[in-house]
Amino acid sequence: MATSEIVFLDRTTLPKYQFNFNFPHHITDYPRSNPEEVASRIAGANIVVTNKIPIDAETIRNSPNLRLIAVPATGLDHIDLQAAQQHGVEVRNVHGYGNDAVAEHTLMLMLALMRQLPAYQRDVAAGLWEKSPFFCYKGAPIRDLNGKTLGIFGRGGIGQAVASRAQAFGMKILWGEHKNASDCRDGYTPFTQVLQQADIISLHCPLNDQTRNLIGEHELKAMKPQAILINVGRGGLVDEQALVAALKYGHLAGAGVDVLSQEPPVNGNPLLSAHLPNLIITPHIAWGSKDAIQRILVMLEDNINNFMATQTA
């Protein structure tokens, strides 16, 4: 069998790992790649591994040896899938590796906001407990998850993992129907009703033309003033300027986000500059537990080995 050329375009997005590819191969690792470098770097490659580096139609067309694009993530919006299909290039991603990790991160944000963790951390650091005449210091109002209604948009593996954990806390689950849907599917609740009834809304749907700005000014005003919004899906699902305004002016009690419209936010972001006490931001790390990352590496390895097995069968 001829030696296959494997190119990693952004190797530093993955930890050190000794891949066990069971076919003759040569690996070229690039820590990261700028868009203008991609075409030359993969011109002779048979297999390309890209986590977040875009591969467009022209690059695919000018890579005659390319047979597989392997993505160590679920999202494929950085790959021109139509061009790949036209040129006989298979694209394989990884599924389900982070369901538990993202679900746990989601619950962490819910608990932290409902129980006012950031506020109490600040109060303790400011010495307010030390000055309290009582054994405890009572500041921001604390709420339980038990008995609250959780509206979830996105009923895939992550959404279902969140639901099972939320039910263990005694929460009622509403599965949100698509925005502007003409009919409501069995087991779902109309979009607007979810906004009106939920104490917490959690977003786990993909970003596309139908879901961009799924939650904007109108939707935020339709939610309960004491509601909380969680977004660990994609930054573009929420109008960030509208979210800042809702938090500032009391239309929303709190928000927890793990994703922004531009990542990394090199040009700044309204959420980052708001410095609001009822907003928690984490740097797109909900998926990144050690256990989930290990699953990514194994699944990536399996995807490449299984693809090559089909080429020699």
**Would you call 143 a catalytic residue per the annotation?**
no
Which of 25, 92, 212, 284 is catalytic? The answer is 284
Task: Give the residue from 305, 293, 298 showing the smallest Cα distance to 101.
Answer: 293
* Sheet strands side by side (includes 47-49): 25-29, 4-8, 47-49, 68-70, 90-92
Which of 234, 240, 251, 295 is catalytic? The answer is 234
Which sign does the torsion angle of CA 234, 272, 118, 248 carry? negative
**Would you call 251 a catalytic residue per the annotation?**
no
**Would you call 263 a catalytic residue per the annotation?**
yes
**C-alpha angle 133-136-138 in degrees, rounded to nearest 5:** 95
Strand intervals (E) in 54-204: 68-70, 90-92, 149-153, 172-175, 200-203
Alpha carbon of residue 304 to chain centroid: 24
Task: Give the residue from 155, 219, 158 showing the smallest Cα distance to 185.
Answer: 155
Give CA–CA dist 306/90, Å, rounded: 12
Give CA–CA dist 230/147, Å, rounded: 18
Give CA–CA dist 279/277, Å, rounded: 6
Burial 172-181 (b: 16+ CB within 10 A, else e): ebbbbbbbee
Q: Residue 74 carries which side chain, given as an amino acid letter?
A: T
Q: Residue 231 carries which side chain, given as an amino acid letter?
A: N
Please list the active-site residues: 234, 263, 284
